[in-house]
Every structure is written in C-alpha cells, then in structure tokens.
Copies of this chain bind each other. A is one copy, B any other.
C-alpha cells in the first residue's frame, strides 16, 4: 500500500554519507572530490570521467556510485569544495561595498585557480552545498547595512557570482583548449580585408598588439565596474 516510489532527497548532501550496517567504506566523498578536483585542474573537466576518476583512485567505475549518485552530483561536490576555498573569516567591516568587492575578487581568483569552475557554474539547476550556503549567509551579513530588500540582495549576490565567472572567463588565457587563435585572427583579418567590414578592419589594423593588461589592472577594472553596478542594483 505504501506508494512511496518517488525520489525525495535528490541532493548529495541530503543523503547520508554511509549506511550503518555493512563494512566501512574504503573511501569518502571528500577523498573522491579531492581526486576529481586534482584531475580537473590537471586535465580539464571533460577528463573527469567516472572511469578516469576510478582509475586514479585505484578502483572500478561502479564503486564510485556508492559515494555519489551520479556524475552530476560529483560536480556539485566539486563546486561546493571550491566554495569552501573562499576565506569568509573576515567579519563585515561596515563598508559593505568594499567587503562585497573583496568577496567577488576572491571568487574570481578561485576561477583562475580552477578554470573548469566556469563551466560548472553555468549548469542549470545548481544545488547549494554547505559551503555555498555559508558563502550566501556571509554575503548577506555583509549586505546587512546596505539598502534594498532581501530579494534585491539575493539577486545582487547571484549576479555577483555570475560576474566573477564572466570576467574570469574573459581573462582566461585563450590557451585553454582554444582551437587556434592566430589562425582565427588571420581569418578575421582576411574577411575584414574584403572591404565589407571597414570598422572591423580599422580596429584590427589599429590594435595590432592587443592591449592585454596585467592581472592587477584586470582586477582594478573589475572592481571599478562592480562599484558602479552594485549601488545601482540596491538603490
């Protein structure tokens, strides 16, 4: 008569790490997440296959499913692990804009450390793990003295994360998996030289050496834009 057949919990964190009966697991979610992180850092996110990860851990692919319900859950764990890398120890200073910008810079730095994070963050249906929740609460604490409704603040925090991802992606060296930048540039120049795109041609000939700025200037631009954006969202 019990018709319960749905799958109520659905997130990694709502399921117990292990059962109470059988033998002790030989690994842990933490260990597996760490190995996945190392693999992603070294060879990129696509290289994090269940098989490759299992091999790295010296086990079979099927075994991983004792710890993780699916590869997607593994990605959730990875994302939350990176969220845990952020330093939330500093208490809000009262300068909410400055504090929030600092948080965003930390977030952007995390993206630089883990180039695959951007691809993780724009999956649909993101799930907030414990570290992400800590982050959220911290950001809300920072925003306590700021104007705006709770809804506006939540939106601002979400947007902030998206912006960190966006800027990190734009700052990422094209090296990472990109096809062939010089060839692409040559193709662009060739098309522009056909005469139908005068402004593009002008821009390409003018800006021969691209004005790639150093990390400090990149951060400064990011900060400058945030300091204009955030007040406009919360006013």
Q: Is the interface of A mostly helix, strand, loop or mixed?
A: helix
Chain A 183-233 residues near chain B, CB threshold 8 A: 183-184, 187-188, 191-192, 196-200, 202-204, 206-207, 210-211, 221, 224-225, 228-229, 232-233
Chain A 24-56 residues near chain B, CB threshold 8 A: none
Quick one: closest B residue to A158, CB to CB?
B170
Quick one: closest B residue to A133, CB to CB?
B191
Known: A127-B179, A179-B125. A187 touches B149 (CB 8 A): no
Asked if residues B163 and A166 are in contact (CB atoms below 8 Å), the reply is: yes
With the chains together, A150 CA to B229 CA distance in Å?
Answer: 24
Query: Copy number in this complex?
Result: 2
Asked if residues B140 and A203 are in contact (CB atoms below 8 Å), the reply is: yes
Q: What residues of B have a CB within 8 angstroms of the CB of A204 in the complex?
A: 150
Q: Which of A11, A178, A203, A225 has the most CB of B within 10 A?
A: A203
Asked if residues A179 and B10 are in contact (CB atoms below 8 Å), the reply is: yes
With the chains together, A208 CA to B224 CA distance in Å?
Answer: 33
Number of interface residues of A (CB under 8 A): 64
Is A95 in the interface zone, CB < 8 Å from B? no
Asked if residues A207 and B149 are in contact (CB atoms below 8 Å), the reply is: yes
Asked if residues B225 and A188 are in contact (CB atoms below 8 Å), the reply is: no
| Interface pick from A61-69, A106-114, A116-124 | A116-124
Is A81 in the interface zone, CB < 8 Å from B? no
CB of A25 to closest CB in B, whole Å:
24
**Can you show 6 pairs from A to B with CB atoms below 8 A apart?**
A10-B179, A124-B177, A137-B192, A141-B199, A162-B170, A229-B229
Residue numbers of A with Cβ under 8 A of B are 8, 10-11, 14, 118-119, 122, 124-125, 127-128, 130, 133-134, 136-137, 140-141, 144, 149-155, 158-159, 162-163, 166, 169-170, 174, 176-180, 183-184, 187-188, 191-192, 196-200, 202-204, 206-207, 210-211, 221, 224-225, 228-229, 232-233
Given contacts A122-B122, A150-B206, A154-B207, 4 further A-B contacts (CB under 8 A): A137-B196, A137-B198, A158-B170, A162-B166
